[in-house]
Amino acid sequence: MASQVKPNFETTAWRFMRYSGILLIPLAWFHVYLQDVIVGVHAIDIDYVAVRLADAGWVTYNFLLLLFAFAHGMYGLRQVMFDLVHKPSTRRILSILMLIFWLVVSAIGATALAMGARPELVQ
Amino acid sequence: MLVYLKIYRYNPEAGRNVPSFDTYNIEAEPTDRVLDLLEEIKGHIDGTVSFRRSCAHGVCGSDAMRINGRNMLACKALVKDVGTEITIEPILGLPVLKDMIVDMEPFFNSYKSLMPFLINEDVPADGKERLQSPEQRERFDDTTKCILCAACTTSCPVFWSDDQYVGPATIVNAHRFIFDSRDQAANKRLEILADHGGAFRCRTAFNCTEACPREIHVTQAIAEVKNAITSGGVEH
């Protein structure tokens, strides 16, 4: 007998958390390796950032890092919220607020990445 | 050997409204069980000490309690394993009624919500019984061992903080029917467990697996239920 369970929000959110966690491992560690080992923190300045953000590939890489890390963290924060808040209506309101917060901050981050760095404003 | 016992006491009916500890020093053998020590105290030193026990052989699951901070069955915990300084407390996360006796109703209500019984509307092919291969039986063998002692559920940090979480024992008992080839309600059970108080609240702390006196792979069973939900169900 075949059972079909329709995916609900909890299932989708959990699956996204797991997949994003797996993707975060190479994304985050390569980021750390590149910036701290290959380039070195003392070599990173506004010109370096500007060059990187002029490249569509690095913008996409950074955007995925932001998207997955933040979503992964927000999922964990929502679980902590469920530990502390037990009233269903309050849980629902806070979940919606968290979703909005995630979307807004991700949008701001994506915009910043897309705009790139402008060294003339710093120097 | 002399054993020092520190026992949790709470009995609002007798005026002990504030939880406290009583201490007892008694002679014991290394092979004595903690339940033997409790029986000794209740029978010969202080008859007001209250705890549940029935079979006293690790089958009924009624004497689950916290022994030196870990959930165990008092009838399976030996003095030589837990040491000569023993602290005994009720299991966590359920309302304490008296000493080590907790209100198990929330636990059983959660258990019942997942329909822990075989559901099959069809008449068996031979009109008598539903046959199953050894492999099909093996699929859920581990979770048939549950004795509903609540040691797993009350060791779970998510259950301590969120009473809407069904808890490991409920998921284990749902697993027992979800993966039973004779059952036809896996879909319904998985839908309940996909909700916000279900399997996805598990954070894989593994406390449940450590606490289970039947050595059920509880966290693994929960993971299999999660996989069944995310893959859209199970096929028998």
User: What is B148-192 written as a DSSP string?
Assistant: ---TTGGG-HHHHH-TTS--HHHHHHHHHHHT-TT-S-HHHHHHH
Beta bridge partners of A49: none
Q: Indicate yes or no: CB of A2 within 8 angstroms of CB of B233.
A: yes
Task: Classify burial at A103, counting beta carbons within 10 Å of its beta carbon; exposed 0-12, middle 13-18, buried 19 or more.
Answer: exposed
Work out how many CB contacts closer than 8 A connect A with B: 57
Best B158, B191, B225, B231 residue to mutate vs chain A (most A CBs within 10 Å): B191
pLDDT for A1 beyond 60: no
Q: What is the mean pLDDT of residues B100-113?
A: 97
pLDDT score for A123 = 60
Angle CA(B189)–CA(B190)–CA(B191) in degrees, nearest 5? 90
pLDDT for B57 beyond 80: yes
Q: What is the mean pLDDT of residues A78-89?
A: 93
Q: What is the mean pLDDT of residues B22-47?
A: 96
Q: Is B78 helix (H, G, I), strand (E, B) or coil?
A: strand
Taking the C-alpha atoms of residue B68 and residue B202, their distance in angstroms, rounded to an integer, is: 25
Taking the C-alpha atoms of residue B86 and residue B34, their distance in angstroms, rounded to an integer, is: 9
pLDDT in tens, B154-164: 999 999 999 89
Query: Which ipTM score applies to this complex?
Result: 0.79
pLDDT score for B163 = 87
User: What is A37-87 written as a DSSP string?
Assistant: III-GGG--HHHHHHHHTSHHHHHHHHHHHHHHHHHHHHHHHHHHHHH---
Give me the domains of chain B, ranges plus CATH numbers: 2-101 (3.10.20.30), 104-230 (1.10.1060.10)
Residues of A in contact with B118 (CB under 8 A): none
pLDDT for A118 beyond 90: no
pLDDT for A2 beyond 70: no
Per the listing, tokens 């981050």 go with: A109
Taking the C-alpha atoms of residue A105 and residue B195, their distance in angstroms, rounded to an integer, is: 27
B163 in reach of chain A (CB within 8 A): yes
Q: Indicate yes or no: CB of A8 within 8 angstroms of CB of B228.
A: no
Q: What is the mean pLDDT of residues B25-53?
A: 96
Best B119, B160, B187, B193 residue to mutate vs chain A (most A CBs within 10 Å): B187
B95 in reach of chain A (CB within 8 A): no
How crowded is residue B199: how many other Cβ atoms within 10 Å of its Cβ? 30
pTM for this entry: 0.89
Q: Indicate yes or no: CB of B162 within 8 angstroms of CB of A86.
A: yes
Q: Indicate yes or no: CB of A11 within 8 angstroms of CB of B230.
A: yes
Chain A: nearest CA to B179, how far in angstroms?
11
Taking the C-alpha atoms of residue B195 and residue B160, their distance in angstroms, rounded to an integer, is: 19
Is B28 within 8 Å of B109 (Cβ atoms)? no
Candidate from A2, A79, A84 with C-beta closest to B203: A79
B184 in reach of chain A (CB within 8 A): yes
pLDDT score for A3 = 55
pLDDT score for B13 = 92
Q: What is the mean pLDDT of residues B85-106?
A: 97
pLDDT for A122 beyond 80: no
Q: Indicate yes or no: CB of B161 within 8 angstroms of CB of A3.
A: no
For chain A, what is the mean pLDDT? 90
Give me the domains of chain A, ranges plus CATH numbers: 11-118 (1.20.1300)
Taking the C-alpha atoms of residue B207 and residue B101, their distance in angstroms, rounded to an integer, is: 21
For chain B, what is the mean pLDDT? 95
Q: How confident is the model at residue B110 (pLDDT cuts 50, 70, 90)?
A: very high
Q: Which two tokens stand for residue B62?
A: 């009624």
Q: What is the mean pLDDT of residues A59-74?
A: 92
Taking the C-alpha atoms of residue B211 and residue B150, their distance in angstroms, rounded to an integer, is: 9
Q: What is the mean pLDDT of residues B23-34?
A: 96
pLDDT score for A117 = 80
pLDDT for B189 beyond 90: yes
Nearest CA in chain B to A12: B230
